[in-house]
Structure 1
């Protein structure tokens, strides 16, 4: 949230120069290449093992990068190591994760490089164009211009572009710098809490904090926060860094009740795995002093957008 408040929100609000986030964009590009290489190792293990006991829903399309550790603290520490890695350091880190599964497996695995990654300049453009668009929308609102042109050249409401997209664009960008976990189905914490009989409500609040200074600066606009995920491409419940440990405690105390809810397929083991992923994500937030937020469609594995 310090990065949000000190760097990203001021940029979106039109302060400073147009190049003020260039260092963060460059870091997002580096991490995209690290992520691509790490995932290639995970896909290589999947290919080498057939399917067997290799949990692709956890190791490839669940946790960020490629991590096979057992306990949440080690998972979080490994994610941070990937976040800070150069591309040349990824292979050794990925091999160490293969060794945790089976030391004999490393000799039979090669990274699956079937896909391709865009050139750095295209990656950079992908990370920043929405930020630039909202920065332009802010400028238009200040100047009293009702519309801006979107990436397709269509005129859109500047005010609606801001109020309807700022949270998603913010979290999508931050996730390129500190990744989240992937899960499918109606299994996010506030959704499960609504259905289960639990010991109190989870220490999550609405996500007003993600609007930053905008509501105070533009009080005439309609800033509507969410306390849970209301739809696709939306941001849900929020836990400040001070609530991360209480939220982990709440999940631990209520895991049985939450797992009994099941998901839309009435699959309770699936929900247990989702709860494991939540705790790992919270362990990363705790390690890095970050907040936690529920979100939908930040990642889209079918379209190549992974963590």
Structure 2
């Protein structure tokens, strides 16, 4: 099976102060309502921004427009060249209302080709679900894991999932906490999309590089869960082990050194990826990784690699 991979800045302060305590069963059931509402707003911003990217694609008629970067790569619709400007533009989208998206998207078209401005309209094929349905989509997994944590505390072995099937409470919590955390945080601070095997820890494993890799295993994504539920089997990874999984982690304090390491080792890392996939796309993947790291650096976030947070063929976009 192929991999829909992604590169994510992760707001660890938000994770540790808000989301992980919620998953652990603390506080009230409505404690994340403000974050859910923000995720709904950003979903609508993202949909409108993506429509502009698709509109530019149509205007270019499939030529001279890098869809793997501008549509199925960067979040929203960003055309700047400098990683710092890319990161700043993503933050502007994250903080925008739907009504502000058009002007921001037009500014990106002007960067790409000012002559296109009079020829491009957003491609509005497809519709978004209603706000309440979007909200359910963002929260149902969080609610399920919160229920699982409460069941474990109460000594109950099982819970029922959304289909009514009985599942292991402990297994639901330990097997899904990291993925659900990253998936939800990505609705508030998005990642970059790629496809194939070009996640950084896999490249590093097969390349001869200078300097030690700044990656660690992804235990920090469990936060307090490991200590609150010490009898459970919490498995962490150094790299992406399978589809629908989270891979290597870099702490906020290591983002700058990780960017430097990727720059220093770009050639051996790219050479490994090109051998695997028989196409010279890995340099672009490294560019996307660096842009995601630039956003992590700008926002004081951590970084993780992941698989199947986004699945473009199913309409799951950044």
For residue 4 of structure 1, what is the aligned residue in structure 2? 15
Q: Which residue of 1 aligns with 2:43?
A: 32
Which structure is richer in relative contact order (CA contacts within 8 A, separation 6 or more)?
2
Q: 5+ unaligned residues in a row in structure 2: which ranges?
A: 1-11
* 1:209-247 per-position Cα deviation (integer Å, ceiling 9, x unaligned): 000111111111000100100000000000010000000
Match of 1:82 among 90, 93, 97: 93
Q: Which residue of 2 aligns with 1:265?
A: 277
| Separation of aligned partners in 2, 1:185 and 1:55 | 17
**SS at structure 1 position matched to 2:105:** helix
CA distance in 1, matches of 2:212, 2:44: 39
Aligned-partner Cα distance in 2 for 1:189–1:6: 28
State the alpha-carbon separation in 2 of the partners of residues 186 and 200 from structure 1. 22
Aligned residues: 306
TM-score between both structures, scaled by the size of structure 2: 0.95
Partners of 1:265 and 1:191 in 2: how far apart? 13
Cα deviations by residue, 1:16-75 (Å, 9 ceiling, x for unpaired): 100000000000000000000000000000001112210000000000000000010000
| Kept in 2: contact 1:148–1:157 (CA 8 A) | yes
CA RMSD of aligned residues (A): 0.7
For residues 168-227 of structure 1, give each alpha carbon's deviation from its aligned partner in whole angstroms, at most 9, with x where no partner exists: 000000000000000001010100001111113320000000001111111110001001
Task: Give the number of the structure whose residues are more often strand, by fraction.
Answer: 2
- Residues 22-101 of structure 1: pairs in structure 2 closer than 5 A: 22-101=33-112
Aligned to 1:293: 304
Alpha-carbon distance, 1:131 to partner: 0.2
Q: Deviations over 1:110-158 (max 9, x none)?
A: 1000011000000000000000000000000000000000011100000
The CA distance in 2 between the partners of 1:174 and 1:260, in whole Å, is 32
CA contact (8 A) 2:197 2:273 kept: no
Per the normalisation by structure 1, the TM-score is: 0.99
> What stretches of structure 1 of length at least 5 have no aligned partner?
none
SS at match of 1:250: helix
| Alpha-carbon separation, structure 2, partners of 1:265 and 1:140 | 45
Q: Confirm or deny that 1:234 pairs with 2:242.
A: no
Tell me what 2:314 maps to.
Answer: 303
Question: What is the correspondence of 1:80-159 to structure 2 with a 5 Å cutoff?
Answer: 80-159=91-170
Provide Cα deviations, 1:252-303, integer angstroms capped at 9, x if missing partner.
0000111111243222x30000000000000000000000001000001111
Q: Which residue of 1 is the match for residue 3 of structure 2?
A: none
* 2:23–2:146 contact (8 Å) kept in structure 1: yes
Runs of 4+ with >4 A deviation: none
Secondary structure of 1:262's match? helix
Tell me, in whole angstroms, the C-alpha distance in 1 between the residues paired with 2:128 and 2:190. 18
Q: Is the 8 A contact 2:246 2:304 kept in 1?
A: yes
User: Hey, what's the Cα distance between the residues in 2 that align with 1:53 and 1:110?
Assistant: 18
Report SS of the residue matched to 2:19. helix
Instruction: Return the alpha-carbon distance in structure 1 between the equivalents of residues 196 and 175 of structure 2.
Output: 23
